Protein backbone atom coordinates (compact mmCIF):
# COMPACT_ATOMS: atom_id res chain seq x y z
CA UNK A 1 0.00 0.00 0.00
CA UNK A 2 1.37 3.33 -1.02
CA UNK A 3 -0.29 6.48 0.11
CA UNK A 4 0.86 8.20 -3.06
CA UNK A 5 -1.77 6.12 -4.75
CA UNK A 6 -4.10 8.67 -3.30
CA UNK A 7 -2.73 11.06 -5.88
CA UNK A 8 -5.08 9.27 -8.24
CA UNK A 9 -7.90 10.22 -5.96
CA UNK A 10 -7.14 13.93 -6.17
CA UNK A 11 -6.84 13.74 -9.95
CA UNK A 12 -10.11 11.84 -10.12
CA UNK A 13 -11.93 14.90 -8.79
CA UNK A 14 -11.15 17.07 -11.82
CA UNK A 15 -11.89 14.27 -14.23
CA UNK A 16 -15.27 13.60 -12.60
CA UNK A 17 -16.27 17.26 -12.72
CA UNK A 18 -15.38 17.37 -16.41
CA UNK A 19 -17.29 14.19 -17.13
CA UNK A 20 -20.34 15.52 -15.30
CA UNK A 21 -20.42 18.58 -17.57
CA UNK A 22 -20.02 16.35 -20.59
CA UNK A 23 -22.82 14.13 -19.36
CA UNK A 24 -25.07 17.17 -18.85
CA UNK A 25 -24.38 18.45 -22.36
CA UNK A 26 -24.84 15.09 -24.08
CA UNK A 27 -27.98 14.35 -22.13
CA UNK A 28 -29.47 17.76 -22.81
CA UNK A 29 -28.85 17.31 -26.52
CA UNK A 30 -30.38 13.87 -26.33
CA UNK A 31 -33.46 15.04 -24.48
CA UNK A 32 -33.98 17.83 -27.01
CA UNK A 33 -33.71 15.26 -29.81
CA UNK A 34 -36.28 13.03 -28.19
CA UNK A 35 -38.44 16.06 -27.49
CA UNK A 36 -38.26 17.11 -31.11
CA UNK A 37 -39.14 13.62 -32.29
CA UNK A 38 -42.10 13.53 -29.95
CA UNK A 39 -43.21 16.99 -31.03
CA UNK A 40 -42.98 15.98 -34.64
CA UNK A 41 -45.25 13.03 -34.08
CA UNK A 42 -47.72 15.32 -32.39
CA UNK A 43 -47.54 17.80 -35.22
CA UNK A 44 -45.06 20.43 -34.02
CA UNK A 45 -41.36 19.82 -33.51
CA UNK A 46 -40.81 23.24 -31.94
CA UNK A 47 -43.47 22.54 -29.35
CA UNK A 48 -41.64 19.31 -28.47
CA UNK A 49 -38.40 21.24 -28.06
CA UNK A 50 -40.05 23.67 -25.67
CA UNK A 51 -41.53 20.86 -23.61
CA UNK A 52 -38.13 19.12 -23.50
CA UNK A 53 -36.52 22.39 -22.40
CA UNK A 54 -39.03 22.87 -19.61
CA UNK A 55 -38.67 19.30 -18.34
CA UNK A 56 -34.89 19.51 -18.52
CA UNK A 57 -34.96 22.84 -16.69
CA UNK A 58 -37.07 21.43 -13.89
CA UNK A 59 -34.79 18.42 -13.57
CA UNK A 60 -31.69 20.60 -13.45
CA UNK A 61 -33.21 22.70 -10.69
CA UNK A 62 -34.02 19.52 -8.75
CA UNK A 63 -30.50 18.24 -9.35
CA UNK A 64 -28.81 21.37 -8.09
CA UNK A 65 -31.06 21.85 -5.08
CA UNK A 66 -32.49 18.57 -3.85
CA UNK A 67 -30.98 15.80 -5.97
CA UNK A 68 -29.48 13.92 -3.05
CA UNK A 69 -32.58 14.26 -0.87
CA UNK A 70 -34.70 12.87 -3.67
CA UNK A 71 -32.43 9.86 -4.12
CA UNK A 72 -32.40 9.19 -0.38
CA UNK A 73 -36.18 9.40 -0.31
CA UNK A 74 -36.50 7.05 -3.30
CA UNK A 75 -34.59 4.51 -1.22
CA UNK A 76 -36.58 5.10 1.99
CA UNK A 77 -33.50 6.28 3.87
CA UNK A 78 -33.99 7.97 7.26
CA UNK A 79 -31.43 10.31 8.74
CA UNK A 80 -29.46 9.15 11.78
CA UNK A 81 -29.03 12.16 14.06
CA UNK A 82 -25.50 13.27 14.89
CA UNK A 83 -24.52 11.60 18.14
CA UNK A 84 -20.99 10.85 19.27
CA UNK A 85 -22.05 7.99 21.50
CA UNK A 86 -23.23 6.07 18.42
CA UNK A 87 -20.49 3.96 16.87
CA UNK A 88 -21.85 4.24 13.34
CA UNK A 89 -21.63 7.97 13.52
CA UNK A 90 -18.16 7.76 15.05
CA UNK A 91 -16.94 5.47 12.27
CA UNK A 92 -18.20 7.82 9.57
CA UNK A 93 -16.64 10.86 11.19
CA UNK A 94 -13.36 9.08 11.83
CA UNK A 95 -12.99 7.88 8.23
CA UNK A 96 -13.99 11.30 6.88
CA UNK A 97 -11.20 12.85 8.97
CA UNK A 98 -8.69 10.38 7.56
CA UNK A 99 -9.84 11.45 4.09
CA UNK A 100 -9.31 15.10 5.04
CA UNK A 101 -12.95 16.12 4.75
CA UNK A 102 -13.86 19.36 6.50
CA UNK A 103 -17.29 18.09 7.42
CA UNK A 104 -18.46 14.49 7.79
CA UNK A 105 -21.23 13.22 5.50
CA UNK A 106 -24.70 12.81 6.95
CA UNK A 107 -25.64 9.27 7.86
CA UNK A 108 -28.87 7.61 6.71
CA UNK A 109 -30.35 4.26 7.61
CA UNK A 110 -32.46 2.11 5.29
CA UNK A 111 -34.68 -0.24 7.28
CA UNK A 112 -33.97 -3.38 5.27
CA UNK A 113 -32.35 -6.67 6.24
CA UNK A 114 -30.19 -6.96 3.13
CA UNK A 115 -26.53 -5.89 3.17
CA UNK A 116 -25.92 -2.74 1.17
CA UNK A 117 -24.76 0.86 1.25
CA UNK A 118 -24.44 3.90 -1.01
CA UNK A 119 -23.29 7.50 -1.03
CA UNK A 120 -24.87 10.50 -2.72
CA UNK A 121 -24.64 14.28 -2.94
CA UNK A 122 -23.18 16.90 -5.23
CA UNK A 123 -20.03 17.65 -3.24
CA UNK A 124 -18.26 16.29 -0.15
CA UNK A 125 -19.51 19.11 2.10
CA UNK A 126 -23.09 18.21 1.25
CA UNK A 127 -22.93 14.47 1.00
CA UNK A 128 -24.72 11.57 2.63
CA UNK A 129 -23.99 7.91 3.23
CA UNK A 130 -26.84 5.43 3.49
CA UNK A 131 -26.48 2.04 5.18
CA UNK A 132 -29.04 -0.73 5.41
CA UNK A 133 -30.03 -2.07 8.83
CA UNK A 134 -28.78 -5.46 7.68
CA UNK A 135 -25.25 -4.27 6.95
CA UNK A 136 -25.07 -2.58 10.35
CA UNK A 137 -26.23 -5.69 12.16
CA UNK A 138 -24.23 -8.31 10.30
CA UNK A 139 -20.82 -6.68 9.86
CA UNK A 140 -18.42 -6.19 12.73
CA UNK A 141 -16.99 -2.79 13.53
CA UNK A 142 -13.91 -3.08 11.31
CA UNK A 143 -15.83 -4.45 8.35
CA UNK A 144 -18.39 -1.68 8.62
CA UNK A 145 -15.52 0.80 8.74
CA UNK A 146 -14.23 -0.72 5.48
CA UNK A 147 -17.60 -0.26 3.80
CA UNK A 148 -17.86 3.32 5.07
CA UNK A 149 -14.34 4.00 3.76
CA UNK A 150 -15.38 2.67 0.34
CA UNK A 151 -18.35 5.05 0.32
CA UNK A 152 -16.28 7.98 1.56
CA UNK A 153 -13.84 7.35 -1.29
CA UNK A 154 -16.76 7.80 -3.69
CA UNK A 155 -17.59 11.04 -1.87
CA UNK A 156 -14.14 12.65 -1.96
CA UNK A 157 -13.60 11.45 -5.55
CA UNK A 158 -16.74 13.30 -6.65
CA UNK A 159 -18.07 10.00 -7.97
CA UNK A 160 -21.24 11.02 -6.16
CA UNK A 161 -21.58 14.13 -8.31
CA UNK A 162 -21.60 12.21 -11.56
CA UNK A 163 -23.76 9.35 -10.28
CA UNK A 164 -26.34 11.70 -8.74
CA UNK A 165 -26.43 13.70 -11.98
CA UNK A 166 -26.80 10.56 -14.09
CA UNK A 167 -29.67 9.25 -11.98
CA UNK A 168 -31.64 12.47 -12.14
CA UNK A 169 -31.07 12.75 -15.89
CA UNK A 170 -31.91 9.13 -16.60
CA UNK A 171 -35.16 9.89 -14.83
CA UNK A 172 -35.99 12.50 -17.49
CA UNK A 173 -35.16 10.28 -20.42
CA UNK A 174 -37.10 7.27 -19.25
CA UNK A 175 -40.05 9.50 -18.40
CA UNK A 176 -40.05 11.00 -21.88
CA UNK A 177 -39.55 7.64 -23.54
CA UNK A 178 -42.43 6.10 -21.66
CA UNK A 179 -44.68 8.99 -22.61
CA UNK A 180 -43.69 8.75 -26.26
CA UNK A 181 -44.19 5.03 -26.47
CA UNK A 182 -47.78 5.42 -25.32
CA UNK A 183 -48.31 8.32 -27.69
CA UNK A 184 -47.01 6.40 -30.66
CA UNK A 185 -49.20 3.44 -29.82
CA UNK A 186 -52.35 5.57 -29.79
CA UNK A 187 -51.55 7.42 -32.99
CA UNK A 188 -50.91 4.17 -34.82
CA UNK A 189 -54.28 2.92 -33.59
CA UNK A 190 -55.96 5.95 -35.03
CA UNK A 191 -54.37 5.39 -38.42
CA UNK A 192 -52.53 7.81 -40.69
CA UNK A 193 -55.18 10.53 -40.71
CA UNK A 194 -52.82 13.17 -39.42
CA UNK A 195 -50.20 12.50 -42.09
CA UNK A 196 -52.65 13.25 -44.86
CA UNK A 197 -53.91 16.49 -43.42
CA UNK A 198 -50.39 17.86 -43.19
CA UNK A 199 -49.54 17.73 -46.89
CA UNK A 200 -49.15 15.62 -49.94
CA UNK A 201 -46.07 14.14 -51.58
CA UNK A 202 -43.69 13.93 -48.63
CA UNK A 203 -45.05 10.72 -47.20
CA UNK A 204 -41.68 9.13 -47.82
CA UNK A 205 -39.61 11.60 -45.85
CA UNK A 206 -42.23 11.56 -43.16
CA UNK A 207 -41.90 7.82 -42.87
CA UNK A 208 -38.14 8.16 -42.54
CA UNK A 209 -38.46 10.75 -39.81
CA UNK A 210 -41.07 8.58 -38.16
CA UNK A 211 -38.69 5.64 -38.29
CA UNK A 212 -35.89 7.76 -36.87
CA UNK A 213 -38.16 8.86 -34.09
CA UNK A 214 -39.02 5.28 -33.27
CA UNK A 215 -35.33 4.38 -33.16
CA UNK A 216 -34.64 7.28 -30.82
CA UNK A 217 -37.55 6.28 -28.63
CA UNK A 218 -36.49 2.67 -28.44
CA UNK A 219 -32.87 3.57 -27.83
CA UNK A 220 -33.58 6.15 -25.15
CA UNK A 221 -33.81 3.88 -22.10
CA UNK A 222 -31.04 1.64 -23.38
CA UNK A 223 -28.76 4.58 -24.04
CA UNK A 224 -29.50 5.98 -20.63
CA UNK A 225 -28.70 2.68 -18.96
CA UNK A 226 -25.45 2.18 -20.83
CA UNK A 227 -24.33 5.67 -19.87
CA UNK A 228 -25.25 4.96 -16.30
CA UNK A 229 -23.25 1.76 -16.31
CA UNK A 230 -20.27 3.23 -18.11
CA UNK A 231 -19.95 5.62 -15.25
CA UNK A 232 -19.09 3.27 -12.51
CA UNK A 233 -17.13 0.07 -13.19
CA UNK A 234 -13.60 1.37 -12.75
CA UNK A 235 -14.74 3.49 -9.86
CA UNK A 236 -15.61 0.46 -7.75
CA UNK A 237 -12.03 -0.81 -7.92
CA UNK A 238 -10.69 2.65 -7.19
CA UNK A 239 -13.06 3.13 -4.25
CA UNK A 240 -12.08 -0.28 -2.86
CA UNK A 241 -8.39 0.59 -3.10
CA UNK A 242 -8.76 4.07 -1.67
CA UNK A 243 -11.03 2.80 1.07
CA UNK A 244 -8.38 0.27 2.05
CA UNK A 245 -5.74 3.00 2.10
CA UNK A 246 -7.93 5.21 4.30
CA UNK A 247 -8.44 2.53 6.93
CA UNK A 248 -5.06 0.83 6.37
CA UNK A 249 -7.10 -2.34 6.56
CA UNK A 250 -7.87 -4.01 3.20
CA UNK A 251 -8.68 -7.31 4.93
CA UNK A 252 -11.69 -5.81 6.69
CA UNK A 253 -13.24 -4.50 3.47
CA UNK A 254 -12.53 -7.86 1.78
CA UNK A 255 -14.30 -9.57 4.69
CA UNK A 256 -17.23 -7.21 4.34
CA UNK A 257 -17.52 -7.89 0.61
CA UNK A 258 -17.45 -11.63 1.28
CA UNK A 259 -20.32 -11.29 3.74
CA UNK A 260 -22.22 -9.09 1.29
CA UNK A 261 -21.81 -11.56 -1.57
CA UNK A 262 -22.86 -14.45 0.64
CA UNK A 263 -26.00 -12.63 1.71
CA UNK A 264 -29.22 -14.14 0.42
CA UNK A 265 -31.56 -11.46 1.68
CA UNK A 266 -33.47 -9.73 -1.12
CA UNK A 267 -33.25 -5.99 -1.12
CA UNK A 268 -36.88 -4.98 -1.05
CA UNK A 269 -36.61 -1.28 -1.69
CA UNK A 270 -34.33 -1.78 -4.69
CA UNK A 271 -35.15 0.92 -7.18
CA UNK A 272 -34.02 0.41 -10.73
CA UNK A 273 -32.89 3.98 -11.34
CA UNK A 274 -30.67 4.10 -8.27
CA UNK A 275 -29.32 0.55 -8.12
CA UNK A 276 -25.94 1.48 -9.58
CA UNK A 277 -25.25 3.59 -6.54
CA UNK A 278 -24.93 0.67 -4.18
CA UNK A 279 -21.72 -1.01 -3.06
CA UNK A 280 -23.04 -4.27 -4.47
CA UNK A 281 -25.80 -4.53 -7.02
CA UNK A 282 -29.12 -5.03 -5.26
CA UNK A 283 -30.87 -8.28 -6.06
CA UNK A 284 -34.14 -8.28 -7.89
CA UNK A 285 -37.40 -9.04 -6.11
CA UNK A 286 -38.03 -12.04 -8.32
CA UNK A 287 -36.16 -14.87 -6.64
CA UNK A 288 -35.48 -16.78 -9.86
CA UNK A 289 -33.75 -13.81 -11.33
CA UNK A 290 -31.78 -13.13 -8.19
CA UNK A 291 -30.61 -16.72 -7.95
CA UNK A 292 -29.42 -16.54 -11.52
CA UNK A 293 -27.71 -13.26 -10.80
CA UNK A 294 -25.88 -14.76 -7.89
CA UNK A 295 -24.88 -17.86 -9.78
CA UNK A 296 -23.31 -16.16 -12.74
CA UNK A 297 -21.63 -13.09 -11.44
CA UNK A 298 -19.37 -12.75 -14.43
CA UNK A 299 -18.93 -9.33 -15.88
CA UNK A 300 -20.39 -8.17 -19.14
CA UNK A 301 -21.20 -4.93 -20.91
CA UNK A 302 -24.14 -4.22 -18.70
CA UNK A 303 -22.72 -4.88 -15.28
CA UNK A 304 -22.00 -1.81 -13.20
CA UNK A 305 -19.96 -3.62 -10.63
CA UNK A 306 -17.01 -5.90 -11.25
CA UNK A 307 -17.45 -9.43 -9.94
CA UNK A 308 -17.18 -9.32 -6.18
CA UNK A 309 -14.70 -12.23 -6.05
CA UNK A 310 -12.33 -10.21 -8.20
CA UNK A 311 -12.67 -7.23 -5.86
CA UNK A 312 -11.90 -9.43 -2.86
CA UNK A 313 -8.84 -10.87 -4.60
CA UNK A 314 -7.47 -7.42 -5.34
CA UNK A 315 -7.99 -6.26 -1.76
CA UNK A 316 -6.28 -9.31 -0.35
CA UNK A 317 -3.20 -8.76 -2.49
CA UNK A 318 -2.75 -5.19 -1.24
CA UNK B 1 7.25 37.21 -35.39
CA UNK B 2 10.24 36.13 -33.33
CA UNK B 3 9.13 38.46 -30.57
CA UNK B 4 5.75 36.76 -30.40
CA UNK B 5 7.39 33.37 -30.11
CA UNK B 6 9.75 34.56 -27.38
CA UNK B 7 6.96 36.30 -25.47
CA UNK B 8 4.76 33.23 -25.85
CA UNK B 9 7.55 31.02 -24.57
CA UNK B 10 8.04 33.11 -21.44
CA UNK B 11 4.30 33.37 -20.88
CA UNK B 12 4.05 29.58 -20.86
CA UNK B 13 7.00 29.29 -18.46
CA UNK B 14 5.45 31.84 -16.10
CA UNK B 15 2.08 30.11 -16.18
CA UNK B 16 3.66 26.77 -15.36
CA UNK B 17 5.63 28.40 -12.57
CA UNK B 18 2.53 29.99 -11.04
CA UNK B 19 0.62 26.72 -11.27
CA UNK B 20 3.35 24.74 -9.53
CA UNK B 21 3.81 27.42 -6.88
CA UNK B 22 0.11 27.47 -6.03
CA UNK B 23 0.07 23.70 -5.81
CA UNK B 24 2.95 23.71 -3.33
CA UNK B 25 1.20 26.34 -1.21
CA UNK B 26 -1.98 24.27 -1.18
CA UNK B 27 -0.11 21.15 -0.12
CA UNK B 28 1.82 22.98 2.59
CA UNK B 29 -1.35 24.49 4.02
CA UNK B 30 -3.02 21.12 4.01
CA UNK B 31 -0.18 19.80 6.17
CA UNK B 32 -0.33 22.74 8.58
CA UNK B 33 -4.06 22.42 8.85
CA UNK B 34 -3.81 18.73 9.62
CA UNK B 35 -1.29 19.47 12.37
CA UNK B 36 -3.64 21.87 14.13
CA UNK B 37 -6.42 19.31 13.87
CA UNK B 38 -4.36 16.89 15.94
CA UNK B 39 -4.14 19.39 18.81
CA UNK B 40 -7.87 20.01 18.74
CA UNK B 41 -8.67 16.30 18.88
CA UNK B 42 -6.13 15.62 21.62
CA UNK B 43 -7.70 18.34 23.74
CA UNK B 44 -11.19 16.91 23.23
CA UNK B 45 -10.02 13.46 24.23
CA UNK B 46 -8.21 14.72 27.31
CA UNK B 47 -11.28 16.72 28.37
CA UNK B 48 -13.43 13.62 28.28
CA UNK B 49 -11.31 11.58 30.69
CA UNK B 50 -12.34 13.28 34.00
CA UNK B 51 -15.94 12.77 32.94
CA UNK B 52 -15.34 9.08 32.50
CA UNK B 53 -13.48 8.78 35.80
CA UNK B 54 -16.36 10.45 37.67
CA UNK B 55 -18.88 8.05 36.21
CA UNK B 56 -16.82 5.05 37.21
CA UNK B 57 -16.26 6.49 40.69
CA UNK B 58 -19.97 6.23 41.45
CA UNK B 59 -19.85 2.46 40.96
CA UNK B 60 -16.37 1.50 42.04
CA UNK B 61 -15.53 3.51 45.15
CA UNK B 62 -12.90 1.04 46.30
CA UNK B 63 -10.86 1.45 43.16
CA UNK B 64 -9.72 4.98 43.87
CA UNK B 65 -6.13 3.96 43.13
CA UNK B 66 -6.91 2.96 39.56
CA UNK B 67 -8.93 6.11 39.06
CA UNK B 68 -6.20 8.32 40.42
CA UNK B 69 -3.65 6.75 38.16
CA UNK B 70 -5.74 7.57 35.11
CA UNK B 71 -6.05 11.21 36.13
CA UNK B 72 -2.34 11.36 36.90
CA UNK B 73 -1.45 9.90 33.50
CA UNK B 74 -3.72 12.39 31.81
CA UNK B 75 -2.16 15.34 33.65
CA UNK B 76 1.33 14.11 32.79
CA UNK B 77 0.36 13.89 29.14
CA UNK B 78 -1.09 17.38 29.14
CA UNK B 79 2.05 18.77 30.75
CA UNK B 80 4.25 17.05 28.17
CA UNK B 81 2.07 18.34 25.37
CA UNK B 82 2.25 21.84 26.81
CA UNK B 83 6.02 21.78 26.63
CA UNK B 84 5.88 20.21 23.20
CA UNK B 85 8.19 17.48 24.34
CA UNK B 86 7.40 14.87 21.71
CA UNK B 87 9.30 12.05 23.37
CA UNK B 88 7.74 12.62 26.78
CA UNK B 89 4.31 13.02 25.21
CA UNK B 90 4.63 9.67 23.46
CA UNK B 91 5.61 8.01 26.71
CA UNK B 92 2.76 9.69 28.60
CA UNK B 93 0.35 8.67 25.87
CA UNK B 94 1.31 5.03 26.23
CA UNK B 95 1.03 5.27 29.99
CA UNK B 96 -2.43 6.81 29.72
CA UNK B 97 -3.54 4.01 27.40
CA UNK B 98 -2.48 1.33 29.84
CA UNK B 99 -4.21 3.03 32.78
CA UNK B 100 -7.37 3.40 30.70
CA UNK B 101 -7.22 -0.30 29.98
CA UNK B 102 -7.18 -1.12 33.67
CA UNK B 103 -10.03 1.33 34.16
CA UNK B 104 -12.15 -0.48 31.60
CA UNK B 105 -11.16 -3.82 33.11
CA UNK B 106 -13.17 -2.76 36.20
CA UNK B 107 -16.29 -3.49 34.21
CA UNK B 108 -15.81 -7.17 34.89
CA UNK B 109 -15.90 -6.79 38.68
CA UNK B 110 -18.77 -4.31 38.70
CA UNK B 111 -21.74 -5.64 36.73
CA UNK B 112 -23.74 -2.48 37.53
CA UNK B 113 -21.12 -0.45 35.74
CA UNK B 114 -21.26 -2.70 32.73
CA UNK B 115 -24.99 -2.17 32.50
CA UNK B 116 -24.85 1.59 33.01
CA UNK B 117 -25.80 3.40 29.81
CA UNK B 118 -23.93 6.51 30.80
CA UNK B 119 -20.76 4.46 31.16
CA UNK B 120 -21.35 2.65 27.88
CA UNK B 121 -21.95 5.96 26.12
CA UNK B 122 -18.73 7.38 27.53
CA UNK B 123 -16.86 4.27 26.50
CA UNK B 124 -18.09 4.60 22.92
CA UNK B 125 -17.39 8.31 22.95
CA UNK B 126 -13.81 7.71 24.06
CA UNK B 127 -13.33 4.94 21.52
CA UNK B 128 -14.67 7.27 18.83
CA UNK B 129 -12.32 10.03 19.92
CA UNK B 130 -9.33 7.70 19.84
CA UNK B 131 -10.32 6.63 16.32
CA UNK B 132 -10.71 10.22 15.18
CA UNK B 133 -7.37 11.12 16.72
CA UNK B 134 -5.76 8.24 14.85
CA UNK B 135 -7.45 9.46 11.66
CA UNK B 136 -6.21 13.04 11.89
CA UNK B 137 -2.72 11.79 12.64
CA UNK B 138 -2.87 9.56 9.61
CA UNK B 139 -4.15 12.43 7.49
CA UNK B 140 -1.30 14.59 8.76
CA UNK B 141 1.34 12.05 7.80
CA UNK B 142 -0.35 11.42 4.43
CA UNK B 143 -0.43 15.14 3.68
CA UNK B 144 3.17 15.70 4.75
CA UNK B 145 4.37 12.73 2.72
CA UNK B 146 2.66 14.12 -0.34
CA UNK B 147 4.07 17.59 0.21
CA UNK B 148 7.58 16.30 0.85
CA UNK B 149 7.47 14.12 -2.25
CA UNK B 150 6.22 17.03 -4.32
CA UNK B 151 8.99 19.46 -3.34
CA UNK B 152 11.65 16.88 -4.18
CA UNK B 153 10.39 16.36 -7.70
CA UNK B 154 11.72 18.26 -10.70
CA UNK B 155 10.89 21.04 -11.55
CA UNK B 156 9.02 21.80 -8.31
CA UNK B 157 12.28 21.35 -6.40
CA UNK B 158 13.70 24.47 -8.13
CA UNK B 159 10.72 26.56 -7.05
CA UNK B 160 10.83 25.03 -3.59
CA UNK B 161 14.49 25.85 -3.00
CA UNK B 162 14.11 29.34 -4.51
CA UNK B 163 11.10 30.30 -2.43
CA UNK B 164 11.90 28.48 0.77
CA UNK B 165 9.52 25.55 0.84
CA UNK B 166 11.07 23.49 3.60
CA UNK B 167 10.24 19.80 3.98
CA UNK B 168 7.75 19.27 6.80
CA UNK B 169 8.45 16.99 9.71
CA UNK B 170 6.90 13.59 9.92
CA UNK B 171 6.67 12.03 13.32
CA UNK B 172 10.12 10.64 13.95
CA UNK B 173 10.73 6.98 13.44
CA UNK B 174 11.56 6.43 17.09
CA UNK B 175 8.09 7.71 17.85
CA UNK B 176 6.55 5.13 15.62
CA UNK B 177 4.10 4.45 18.44
CA UNK B 178 2.71 7.96 18.29
CA UNK B 179 2.55 7.98 14.53
CA UNK B 180 0.65 4.78 14.39
CA UNK B 181 -1.64 6.16 17.05
CA UNK B 182 -2.23 3.00 19.04
CA UNK B 183 -5.41 1.23 18.10
CA UNK B 184 -7.16 1.14 21.43
CA UNK B 185 -9.20 -1.87 22.31
CA UNK B 186 -11.08 -1.53 25.56
CA UNK B 187 -13.20 -4.55 24.87
What is the structure's pLDDT at B29? 93
Selected residues 69-128 of chain A with any CB under 8 Å from a CB in chain B = 84-87, 89-91, 93-95, 97-100
**What is the distance between the alpha carbons of residues B162 and B20, in angstroms, rounded to a whole number?**
13
- pLDDT tens-digit map of B55-84: 888 888 788 888 899 999 999 888 887 777
Q: Where are the beta strands (DSSP E) in A44-182?
A: 77-80, 106-110, 117-121, 127-132
Summarize the confidence of residues A284-309 as an average pLDDT: 51
Query: Tell me, what's the ipTM?
Result: 0.82
Are B128 and A100 a contacting pair at CB < 8 A?
Answer: no
CB contacts of A248 in chain B (<8 Å) are 138
Residue A207 pLDDT level (bands cut at 50, 70, 90): low
Using DSSP's 3-state secondary structure scheme, residue A105 falls into coil
Residue A148, min C-alpha distance to chain B (Å): 14
In a domain, B186, yes or no: no
- In this structure, what CATH number is given to the domain that contains residue B135? 1.20.1440.20
Domain that residue A21 falls in? 3-316
Question: β-strand A106-110 against A127-132: which pairing, if any?
Answer: parallel
- pLDDT tens-digit map of B85-121: 777 888 888 889 889 888 888 888 888 888 888 889 9
**B187 and B61 in contact (C-beta within 8 Å)?**
no
DSSP A65-81: HHHHHHHHHHTTEEEEP
- Total domains in chain A come to 1
- pLDDT tens-digit map of A130-145: 999 999 999 999 999 9
Count of CB pairs separated by less than 8 Å, A with B: 55
Which of A4, A85, A97 has the CB atom closest to B139's CB atom?
A97
Which of A4, A94, A248 has the CB atom closest to B131's CB atom?
A94
**What is the distance between the alpha carbons of residues A186 and B21, in angstroms, rounded to a whole number?**
64
CB contacts of B31 in chain A (<8 Å) are none
Residue A284 is classified by DSSP as P
- Total domains in chain B come to 1
What is the structure's pLDDT at B169? 80
CB contacts of A3 in chain B (<8 Å) are 142, 145-146
Catalogue the active-site residues of A. 151
Residue A293 pLDDT level (bands cut at 50, 70, 90): very low
Summarize the confidence of residues A199-208 as an average pLDDT: 53
Domain that residue B38 falls in? 2-180
Which of A6, A84, A95 has the CB atom closest to B142's CB atom?
A6
Residue A163, min C-alpha distance to chain B (Å): 27
pTM for the whole thing?
0.81
**A68 and A122 in contact (C-beta within 8 Å)?**
yes
Of A243-247, B62-66, B148-152, minimum mean pLDDT range: B62-66
**What is the distance between the alpha carbons of residues B159 and B149, in angstroms, rounded to a whole number?**
14
Summarize the confidence of residues A160-181 as an average pLDDT: 72
Q: Round the average pLDDT of chain A to a whole number and report it.
A: 77
CB contacts of B136 in chain A (<8 Å) are 97-98
Residue A152 pLDDT level (bands cut at 50, 70, 90): very high
**What is the distance between the alpha carbons of residues A228 and A235, in angstroms, rounded to a whole number?**
12
In a domain, B187, yes or no: no
Burial group, residue A179, by CB count within 10 angstroms (0-12, 13-18, 19+): middle
Are B142 and A93 a contacting pair at CB < 8 A?
Answer: no
Are B128 and A87 a contacting pair at CB < 8 A?
Answer: yes
Are B132 and A90 a contacting pair at CB < 8 A?
Answer: yes
Are A100 and B143 a contacting pair at CB < 8 A?
Answer: yes
What is the structure's pLDDT at A194? 47
Are A100 and B34 a contacting pair at CB < 8 A?
Answer: yes
Question: β-strand A106-110 against A117-121: which pairing, if any?
Answer: unpaired
- pLDDT tens-digit map of A84-112: 889 999 999 999 999 999 899 999 999 98
Q: Within chain B, what is the greatest distance between any pair of CA atoms?
A: 92
Residue B135, min C-alpha distance to chain A (Å): 4
Burial group, residue B62, by CB count within 10 angstroms (0-12, 13-18, 19+): exposed
Kindly state whether B186 is in contact with chain A, defined as any CB-CB distance less than 8 angstroms.
no
Are B124 and A6 a contacting pair at CB < 8 A?
Answer: no
Q: Where are the beta strands (DSSP E) in A90-158?
A: 106-110, 117-121, 127-132
Are B124 and A90 a contacting pair at CB < 8 A?
Answer: yes
Residue A86, min C-alpha distance to chain B (Å): 7
In which region does residue B76 sit, left (phi positive, over 0), alpha (psi from -120 to 50) or beta (all else)? alpha
Amino acid sequence: MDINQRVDMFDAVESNKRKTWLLLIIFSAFVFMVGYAAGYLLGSGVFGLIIAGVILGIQLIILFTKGDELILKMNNAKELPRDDTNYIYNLVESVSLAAGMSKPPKVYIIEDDSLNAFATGRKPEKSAIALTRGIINKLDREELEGVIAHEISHVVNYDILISTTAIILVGVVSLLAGFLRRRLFWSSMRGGGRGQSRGRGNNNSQAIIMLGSIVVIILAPLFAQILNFAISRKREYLADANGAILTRNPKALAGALRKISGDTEVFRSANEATENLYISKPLKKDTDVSKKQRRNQRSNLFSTHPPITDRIKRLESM
Amino acid sequence: MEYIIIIGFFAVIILLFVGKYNRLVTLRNRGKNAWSQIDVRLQQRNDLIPNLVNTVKGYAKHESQTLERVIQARNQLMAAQGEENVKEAAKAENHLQSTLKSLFALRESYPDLKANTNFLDLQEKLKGMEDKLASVRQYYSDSVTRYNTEIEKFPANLIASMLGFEPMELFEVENEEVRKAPKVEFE
